[in-house]
A and B are shown apart, each in its own frame.
Chain A
Amino acid sequence: SAVISQKPSRDICQRGTSLTIQCQVDSQVTMMFWYRQQPGQSLTLIATANQGSEATYESGFVIDKFPISRPNLTFSTLTVSNMSPEDSSIYLCSVEVGVNEQYFGPGTRLTVT
């Protein structure tokens, strides 16, 4: 397994502002993922972030809104830009560990007012 931490754990932000969420892993991993869980919904993949390459975004998510950095094999950031109340969600990073298995961080609970 892997120990994954996220900062901040929660935040309340004003609409129109941006928030950067950090994800730190205690071991080197190739693949990191960012998910969103909107209230009452399932987990939705935003993008896959591999070190040394551009993040790959899923349908409905764009780089201008959710820029991602992956500077090394243990760290990634997700920025939620120009926020609106619809961006209120839990944002989760995950990493692939072993064969085909993903482990999740504790999540960042974002409320946009």
Chain B
Amino acid sequence: DQQVKQNSPSLSVQEGRISILNCDYTNSMFDYFLWYKKYPAEGPTFLISISSIKDKNEDGRFTVFLNKSAKHLSLHIVPSQPGDSAVYFCAAGVTSGTYKYIFGTGTRLKVLA
């Protein structure tokens, strides 16, 4: 049972345009969500997070939106740059207790120059 899903395995976007990466979850107990970027042969790099008490969090070019009723979150990258080309993972967890996170399967973003 995949509790965290990223239904788009890949996405191509033109440089300067907006990239939107989507993530759906099934467990309503999740109360904290993170996005990671992963380059080949490197570990995931933390990008941005959001608590379930918020519906938006912004950090520079990165904005995460959370829709709790739809159990959906999205990462917006504006403007997209070629260096953003990587695999993006969303993760969801329940913060009371063990801080375990469940990861999605990732979306490969390619930003075209």
Contacts and interface: CB of A to CB of B under 8 A. Distances in A.
Contact of A100 (B41, B42, B93): B93
Contacts of B44: 43, 92, 104
Contacts of A48: 98, 100
Interface residues of B, number: 24
Interface stretch (A13-21, A61-69, A81-89, A105-113): A105-113
B105 A41 contact: yes
Main secondary structure of the interface of A (DSSP, over half): strand
A106 B101 contact: no
Interface residues of A, number: 24
Contacts of A73: none
Contacts of A100: 32, 34, 49, 51, 93, 95, 99
A103 B101 CA distance: 12
Contacts of B43: 4, 6, 92, 94, 104-107
A25 B56 CA distance: 31
Contact of B104 (A42, A92, A105): A42
Interface of B: 4, 32, 34, 36, 41-46, 49, 51, 89, 91, 93, 95, 98-101, 103-106
28 contacts: A6-B43, A42-B4, A42-B104, A42-B106, A43-B44, A43-B89, A43-B91, A45-B101, A48-B100, A58-B100, A92-B44, A94-B43, A96-B99, A100-B32, A100-B93, A100-B95, A100-B99, A101-B46, A102-B46, A104-B43, A104-B44, A104-B45, A104-B46, A106-B41, A106-B43, A107-B41, A107-B42, A109-B41
